[in-house]
Structure 1
Amino acid sequence: MSDYVVDESTIFETPLVELDLDIEADADVYAKVEWFNLYDAPHGGGSVKSRIAKGMLDGAEERGDLEPGVTVIEPTSGNTGSEIARLAAVRGYDVEIVMPDNAAGGKVEAVRDAGAEIHFVDANRGYDAVIERCEAIIAADPDAYFRPNQYENPDNPGTHERTTAREIYEATDGEVTHFVAGVGTGGTITGTGRGLTDLTDGAAEIVGFEPDEPLHAIDGLKYLKTGDHYHPDTYDESVLDRTAYVTTADAYDQARALRERYLDDAVPIADPGQHDEETIREHLRVDDQFVVGTSAGGGAAAVVGLDEAGELDDGDTVVFMLCDRGDKYADIPLWEEYL
């Protein structure tokens, strides 16, 4: 374990940056840089999941659902696991994380660094097998475990509705016209979508995106297009105005395009959130490269797809999520040649 000390005050109020995606419409495109939640944590900082980890643990403790001596357990593809492990451990709980054995190395190391026990599941069995393994562990000793359950816990979308939506609305001076986010648990798109719909009186268009096929390599996202896959209770499609489908190749291409675009140019900071510019500049890049995670590339691809379909107009204000930083993926094809 590293000597990193979790500081929960760094969660929320993340920076908003302006990005050039080379689209036809004269629209402003912004992105929330979510690794600034717990930005100085080892193995890539925090992620968008830092928000819900805090929200779910806070809620459980306030309701008395989580008590001292209980082990916190959660199935995850990586980011939720590391963030729950970090926050639960600093609060004094033992943690066990169930994850597929092909999870990105940076995510695995982040979980290990937090001191959590990991149960690996053969990735070839699909993600539903990860959830089933977690349920089996709990069933063997129900009183010993507390599962935050990111797939059913209303504190997941509720946290985004209270925080992410407000941050985006205020940082864009209320001018956001499109919000784009990927679907994993559905918490980000559902909660932020609800919040922005309320704040803009329905003016903001809410766009969710999924991988275009079941076998994909866009970490954290779920293929839900057909009904034979686990559907999270935290995902409410009625909030969405449209759903886009993104290929792994397009997600990776857009992530690499961002790296190339900002190799020599600074990434413009539209709103610093709670951070000073020096901190943002220090943690925005890795090895002086602007590298983002796979789902962030997917978000950029979804925005480009909207533009290509003629869905964006001059003067629009589009916001999507940079869910995590690219150094969590240094061991996969996306960034293994660069980091």
Structure 2
Amino acid sequence: MRAESAVGDTPLVVLDLDVAPTVYGKVEWLNFHDQPYGGGSVKSRIAVSMLDAAEARGEIGDRTILEPSSGNTGLALTRVGVSRGYDVEIVSYEGTSRTKLDAIRDAGGTVHLAETYEGMLAKAERLLDSDDYYRPDQYANPANPRAHETGTGPELRAQTDGEVTHFVAGVGSGGTITGVGRALSPDGVEIIGYEPRKPYHAIDGLKYVRGSRFEKPEIYDESVLDDRLDVSTREAYAHAHRLRGRYADRTIDIRDTGRYDESVVRDRLRVDGDFLVGASAGGAVAAVHELDRRGRFASDDTVVVPLPDRGDRYRTLPPWGRFCHR
């Protein structure tokens, strides 16, 4: 069984972005840090939380776990589910990173592919007509935001010694921003979400939920937000690329190593010498820059953004080559 204790209590690093406030990044690929394909992701937290809750209610039994996913949730559920003895099948679509799909297969999962995102959802629904499957359903499962309300949020409070004033994150399932918001809003922390600028975009893992293409996820509690803005695909990838360039020859300062020795954190922060973050992290950095441009921050503010996964998972996607080439 995989060491599920190696999920959570991830490191916090300093991001020098030339903006007014102090900015930290929460390094979520240190979840399952010893696993291939860039370690884990922020979704490792919800996989453990959702399966723990399902087992406590006796919902899975001998059924196969099935989830539609563009990658990170599917991989996390596969790693946790297979380690607990379940069969896991993930429904994805042709636009998904090949790296993520390979990781799911290598972790012991079965992948079903549809041509489009909408086709993925329809294919999953057809399979779920059978009683042979159990769907965790990250978009409607309260164990998703609860993982961040009881884990990520309190970690940020502790790791910043209560100094955090703003949390800026993208909206995917809504779990991270909802859970962190519920944990930190009572402390006066401002919660700011961003969404892709257009319905059809390439910021993997995020959802355009303002319009008619997607329904708002059931678990997404917009009442925790103090503000919301939008970020384009180009901006998200460009800022991910700029972070890589900024830290090409600079040491990454670590505010808190989390559960790990500093040597482990430093070894896992980079891939082939580069500091690579995914597009959703790049989008959060873009949002911080835009908010700073608007004069939203003071010099004594402390902003935290999630770094949900490592950027090398996206090298097979066209935007990586377009915006993040060397």
- Asked if these proteins are the same fold (TM beyond 0.5), I'd say yes
Q: Which of 149, 152, 174 is 1:186 aligned to?
A: 174
Does structure 1 residue 280 correspond to structure 2 residue 260? no
Partner of 1:47: 41
Structure 2 unpaired stretches of 5+: none
Structure 1 unpaired stretches of 5+: none
Alignment of 1:1-339 (within 5 A): 6-23=2-19, 25=20, 27-67=21-61, 69-123=62-116, 127-139=117-129, 141-142=130-131, 144-198=132-186, 200=187, 203-336=188-321
* 1:171 to 1:11, Cα distance in 2 relative to 1, 3 A: same
**Is the 2:177–2:193 contact (alpha carbons within 8 Å) kept by the matching residues of 1?**
yes
Offset, 1:333: 3.9
Offset, 1:305: 1.0
- Tell me, in whole angstroms, the C-alpha distance in 2 between the residues paired with 1:305 and 1:128: 31
Offset, 1:132: 2.2
Q: How many residues align?
A: 324
**Is the 2:10–2:259 contact (alpha carbons within 8 Å) kept by the matching residues of 1?**
yes
RMSD value, Cα = 1.3
- Tell me, in whole angstroms, the C-alpha distance in 2 between the residues paired with 1:231 and 1:63: 26
**Is the 2:210–2:216 contact (alpha carbons within 8 Å) kept by the matching residues of 1?**
no
Q: What is the TM-score of this pair, normalised by structure 1?
A: 0.93
Deviation per CA, 1:163-219: give whole Å up to 9, x if none.
000000101111111001111100000011111113x1xx11000110000111100
- Tell me, in whole angstroms, the C-alpha distance in 2 between the residues paired with 1:33 and 1:183: 17
- Tell me, in whole angstroms, the C-alpha distance in 1 between the residues paired with 2:32 and 2:248: 25
**Is the 2:202–2:319 contact (alpha carbons within 8 Å) kept by the matching residues of 1?**
no
Identity score, percent: 51
**Is the 1:6–1:41 contact (alpha carbons within 8 Å) kept by the matching residues of 2?**
no
- Tell me, in whole angstroms, the C-alpha distance in 1 between the residues paired with 2:214 and 2:314: 26
Offset, 1:150: 0.2
Q: Indicate the SS of the match to 2:128.
A: helix
**Is the 1:128–1:230 contact (alpha carbons within 8 Å) kept by the matching residues of 2?**
no
Q: What is the TM-score of this pair, normalised by structure 2?
A: 0.97
**Is the 2:195–2:231 contact (alpha carbons within 8 Å) kept by the matching residues of 1?**
yes
Structure 1 stretches of 4+ moved >6 Å: none
**Is the 2:199–2:211 contact (alpha carbons within 8 Å) kept by the matching residues of 1?**
no
Task: Answer with 329-338 or 258-267: which moved more.
Answer: 329-338
**Is the 1:44–1:106 contact (alpha carbons within 8 Å) kept by the matching residues of 2?**
no
